[in-house]
Structure 1
Amino acid sequence: MSVPDAGFDDAVLYRLKFARRLPTGLSELTGPMHGVVELPLHVVWSGLRAFDLDQPRQRMGLYRTVLAEGTREDLCGFLNAELLFSLWPVLRTLTGPSVRDVWEEAFPQLRERAAA
């Protein structure tokens, strides 16, 4: 009898962690499109916590951080569906494969946007 590959189990659990946080639809992402957003400590515990959405690099940093560390409530409250859709072709390259795959499987329009 073979022992299951622990790496595979870790990858499955990691993907499940992100899948459980997903909103049921992109329309639930009603966060701001402009201005300064301060993330709570449970999302970003060191470094920059306030992000100016009108600055492209800071906007990308906020989205990357919230996708990786945010709860479902954080995703819905800090991310905006329109911005996520516009950022996705680049943002998907800045996230880990688990985040990218989970979001693109749940929301095929993101995968289509990246391919366009």
Structure 2
Amino acid sequence: MSSAAVDSRYEQLAERLPASLDALAGPVSGTVELPLHLAWSGLRAFDLDRPRLRMGLYRIVLTEGMREDLIRYLDPGLLVEQWPVLRTLVGPAVRSVWESAFGELATAAQA
């Protein structure tokens, strides 16, 4: 992948970010059904009370979601709590953009 393509990917991801983690307003428990534009293949309903399913939902939303999806489906506390493992499940561009924008995630990654 060319340097320009990588830069473009980072810019696209950065444009999707919320202004702060506090803008995230996702649920912390219960079952969440993702829309088809996020989960077009396979599982669409995720029980947030089950850690593996919650991690799957967060991975999908971080990778595929637009700003409105990020705000609607992610909770700031759960994101920071899960980040040390979650960061290994998303691509390097997603990981880099989120950790660069939000120091809380970079700190959690070092814990």
Q: CA deviation at 1:114?
A: 1.1
Q: Which residue of 1 aligns with 2:106?
A: 111
% of aligned pairs identical? 57
Q: Which residue of 1 aligns with 2:68?
A: 73
What TM-score, normalized to structure 2?
0.97
Separation of aligned partners in 2, 1:37 and 1:100: 23
List gaps (5 residues or longer) in structure 1. Answer: 1-5
Q: CA deviation at 1:103?
A: 0.3
Q: CA deviation at 1:22?
A: 0.1
Separation of aligned partners in 1, 2:65 and 2:54: 15
Q: CA deviation at 1:16?
A: 1.1
Separation of aligned partners in 1, 2:34 and 2:12: 20
Please state if 1:31 is matched with 2:26.
Answer: yes
Q: Which residue of 2 aligns with 1:40?
A: 35
Looking at CA atoms only, which structure, 1 or 2, has the larger radius of gyration? Answer: 1
What secondary structure does 1:93 align onto?
Answer: coil
Superposed CA RMSD in Å reads 0.8
Separation of aligned partners in 2, 1:32 and 1:88: 17
CA deviation map 1:63-106 (0-9, x unaligned): 00000001100000000000001000000011100000000000
Alignment of 1:76-87 (within 5 A): 76-87=71-82
Q: CA deviation at 1:27?
A: 0.4
Separation of aligned partners in 1, 2:12 and 2:97: 10
Aligned residues: 111
Please state if 1:88 is matched with 2:109.
Answer: no
Question: Alignment partner for residue 99 of structure 1, among 69, 94, 99?
Answer: 94
List gaps (5 residues or longer) in structure 2. Answer: none
Separation of aligned partners in 2, 1:16 and 1:45: 24
Alignment of 1:51-66 (within 5 A): 51-66=46-61
Give 4+ residue runs of structure 1 displaced > 3 Å after superposition. Answer: none
What TM-score, normalized to structure 1?
0.93
